[in-house]
Amino acid sequence: MESQTPRVSVIISTYNRSRVLYYAIASVLSSTFRDWEIIVVGDACTDDSEAVVRSFQDPRILFFNLKKNFGDQGGPNNEGFRRASGRYIAYLSHDDLYMPDHLETAVRGLEESGADFVSTLGISINRNGPNLLSGTYTKGPFIPNFSIPASLWFLKREVLETVGDWRHPRECVMVPSQDLLVRIWKAGKRIQPIPKVTVIAVPSGCRPGIYAVQEWEENRRVFQDVSSDPNFREKELMKIIGERVSDEASMKIGIHLRWVLFNLVKKTVRLFGLTPMEASYSLRFRRKGTVINRWRKTIGLSRLK
């Protein structure tokens, strides 16, 4: 008897951070939604990532390792999609965690809205300050004005079949994930944000040298906090709200000026067929590949040639 095709394929791109990868996988295993497969793709990993994946002893969790290093999550994500069999596609960065209700929330949101793509909200754990809310929500038509991390995405596989692969960082002025998001939007796919926090991120980009020191205890602590405290999400949200309220008076004028400038830029760049996010990346980085090389330098990896 042939096995049933899973509804959801969770694609995890990884590179030589096996201990962090463990908690990402464990967070999917804690999901209330169970009809999934996990496809872990190593970017030519040389550590024990494969052994960590196999330690779960779950036939739904598969590992593949690229022979040549791509240098960004896009290459492994493309390979993961080629091997995916699910009706829906989700991405999970190896240093992020799903809340137990993430997949359930995303599946329901996609099917009830009739959208092609949904995105939830996330809490980004900030080592040097208050935690941050990531993602975006709007009641009107979605416009990609702000970055949405790929761990928050959930989409129909037909979207990627239509729009195509993640591009190599050398082909993008923007981060490759946001380049793909803009391409999906420009292809006319319906994108529906969901106003619920379902992902916790421990982003490597704001942890200098993280690949060199191979720190992982922070991910374990956050995973344990999420697992043991049913009110973790609400407590973190209250902290974020408290920080914003305490700063509101001093930031009021600055916020107003930023919104005036943002709206002016938005109107201007639309005349050239760009989104504000595309314009922002172009002005800041100018050359293709610049943004990824700055990020790799920060986290302790060599420059892409």
pLDDT tier, 146 (very low <50, low <70, confident <90, very high otherwise): confident
Given a cut of 70, is residue 83 above it in pLDDT? Answer: yes
Question: How many CA atoms within 13 Å lie on the side-chain side of 160?
Answer: 23
pLDDT digits (tens, 9 = 90+) for 124-138: 998 877 888 999 877
Query: Is residue 90 within 8 Å of 119, Cβ to Cβ?
Result: no
Burial of 176 (0-12, 13-18, 19+ CB in 10 A): buried
pLDDT tier, 292 (very low <50, low <70, confident <90, very high otherwise): low
pLDDT digits (tens, 9 = 90+) for 43-66: 999 999 999 999 999 999 999 999
Residues 6+ apart with CB under 8 A from 82: none
Q: Which of 229, 259, 224, 211 is nearest to 94 (CA)?
A: 211
pTM of the model: 0.81
Burial of 68 (0-12, 13-18, 19+ CB in 10 A): exposed
Site of tokens 């969790």: 61
Give residue 163's pLDDT: 97
Mean pLDDT of the chain: 84
pLDDT tier, 285 (very low <50, low <70, confident <90, very high otherwise): low
Distance CA 84, CA 82 (A): 6
Distance CA 159, CA 71 (A): 24
pLDDT tier, 259 (very low <50, low <70, confident <90, very high otherwise): very low
Of 68-72, 96-100, 237-241, which range is least confident? Answer: 237-241
Give residue 142's pLDDT: 86
Residues 6+ apart with CB under 8 A from 36: 6, 7, 8, 9, 10, 28, 60, 86, 103
pLDDT tier, 294 (very low <50, low <70, confident <90, very high otherwise): low
Question: What CATH code is assigned to 8-241?
Answer: 3.90.550.10
**Beta pairing, strands 132-134 & 117-124:** antiparallel
Give residue 270's pLDDT: 52
Distance CA 115, CA 156 (A): 9
DSSP 142: -
